[in-house]
Structure 1
Amino acid sequence: MQRRTRPAVLALAAGAVTLSGLAAPASGATAEEIGDGLVAPLSLAVDDDGTVFVAQNFAGVLTQLGPGSSRKDLVTAEGQEVGGVSVSDGVVTYVTTAMGPEPAAALWTVENGGDPVQVADLWGYEQEANPDGSTRYGVKGMNRSCRRKVDRELRPLLKYSGVVESHPYATHVAGGTTYVADAAGNSILAVTDGEVSTVATLPPVRIDITKRRAKVMGLPGCAKGSTYKAEGVPTDVEMGPDGNLYVTSLPGGPEDARMGANGGVYRIELATGDVTRYAGGLVSPVGLAIGPDGTAYVSMLFASVVMEQKFLQEPTVFAEVPFPGDVELVDGQVYVTETDLMGDPAAPAGRVLRLTPDAG
């Protein structure tokens, strides 16, 4: 069951916590570099002792930074993307994805420098279940004559249902269950004892098509006034202090600000599977961290900022970081990846930063 209520309100604790937009001054933070020379670090996790595990997604490498100044690669998955890192009780959880003619997606764990262990076949589950298979996407409200003006190669995208496709992007471990945000399956999955199930699928993101947006989408000007039902793409999943899941999401299609600020945060009630969109007006939210007091941090990839939302206070820009990927909160310190997406792939410059709020 899916329902929509007040946009731009994210309930993380006993009261309401607002989270919307970028119109706020930076609160200030001091940055310390934990590691550099990384290839597209889009996901990270931090253990209780401060050890950082970071995925070099496009290189297919999972790297450990620390303890101290040590660094080593734990996993190398040649020809695959590595991501979705989390850590619990010393066990590192991650996902792999292979595109192309032989797609694959799987959930793995690695512990104490041992060999990786496959926990679940996520691609197999997508083929079997296709959680968003009954969800309709595309353009609504465009008349027939206008549809005939759409380029032939774009017409299949005017109306379609969720396809069989998997790209696990983030994980969160709670108890004996690992929750997986599948960015291609548009769903949140639960893996318990190797068994995969669907927690929820995200609803389509409704975007009013303006003349400018029609141009961005490659649609004729007559599409103005119709509605684009974009795929709801989950990019991170965390458990809030209320025991429910919170998910950052961006709409399928252009992920930067060309289509407007259409990203958001969803709340998923674990008891019922109900999905509520609580936060809107965000640009490419890809990482989420939630403290025990309900303080939330959201990294916005193409906005190049990390937002902070303290309980019952207005949101602020916590830090400006070029293309921030994932974000984690440990002992009052914020860890964030600088992805270097626009850098030279031959000279990787991705970093992990530890941000400490400035005093006062």
Structure 2
Amino acid sequence: MEPQKILFTATPGKTLGEIIDSLAHDNLFILCDTHTQAMSLPLLSGELPITHVISIEAGDTHKTLEALAHVWDELSRHGASRKSLLVNLGGGMVTDLGGFAAACFKRGIRFVNLPTTLLGAVDAAVGGKTGINFNGLKNEIGAFRPADAVIISTRFFTTLPHEELLSGYAEMLKHALIDSADSYRALLDFDLSTPDWERLLQLLEESVQVKQRIVAQDPCEKGIRKALNLGHTVGHAFESLSHRRGKPIPHGYAVAWGLVCELLLSHHYLQFPSDTITQLADYIYRHYGAYPITCKDYETLYELMTHDKKNESGHINFTLLQAIGQPVIDQHADKEEIFVAFDLYRDLFKL
């Protein structure tokens, strides 16, 4: 599989214009959500040709079959063909849904991702995973289909709420944990309260390269790409529980708390160092707070984990760490040990 073309730039409009010119197309469409149409599209519109703008409601709760059908309907109504080009301008919800729409429309049209959130840049826009939520489960329906190009710029992040920055940063922490101690320390040392955007773009490029290297080896998640799931088995369960409670939490926050739980499992099964867990838990607690759970939630969280797409042969499938930079895929944990990890998480987070 060819490495995905990823461009890091301080001038996203100019770079997007060059990419559009390089991809032969008969019709250009831009997919936004209501937020990015108001906040991000104006940063580009002066440098782009007149185009069709397709807008969907913002928020992960709108990553639905209905929104997907709306995108297909708009493409059809405005004469899109197999040679048309779709630009997905938004966070992970837009790039996930837009990528899936492009992958299926007329059996596949070209698309470019331009993530406007840190989370979208480091996670959803890169690596070729597309999809929508279905039956209350995240990303239940989707396809592997890499974008023809991904353009990443911190220019869009300056207007983000601090919570959005933190959400993306959790995925960067995950990449560092599976990559190297040096990468991990660099992230812990970065000042998120007053970000140096140029330095963040460098850290982001290093983080995305971790994902790129892994995806190039295993594009369809048969082996080592599962390392990227660190923190996500428990994290997705926290996220799904938050939706059931009617108080959705940001994806990156769920991953941050999931990382701590899965490192606790890593300590039990693979002797991952406990002092590193304590250090990370302290960092997560200071920046992300704690997701409140009690022992009454354990069974629900466990049941949610049994629906995870990574599971095989009836086992909940984890990626665990032997040490920073040493992920071990296809690990199974006993229900009792998962509950012990929840106990320890509550102790570390003073719940």
Provide TM-score, normalisation by structure 1. Answer: 0.26
Q: Could you say which structure has the higher helix fraction?
A: 2
Provide TM-score, normalisation by structure 2. Answer: 0.27
Of structures 1 and 2, the one scoring higher in RCO (CA 8 A, sep 6+) is 1
Q: Could you say which structure has the higher strand fraction?
A: 1
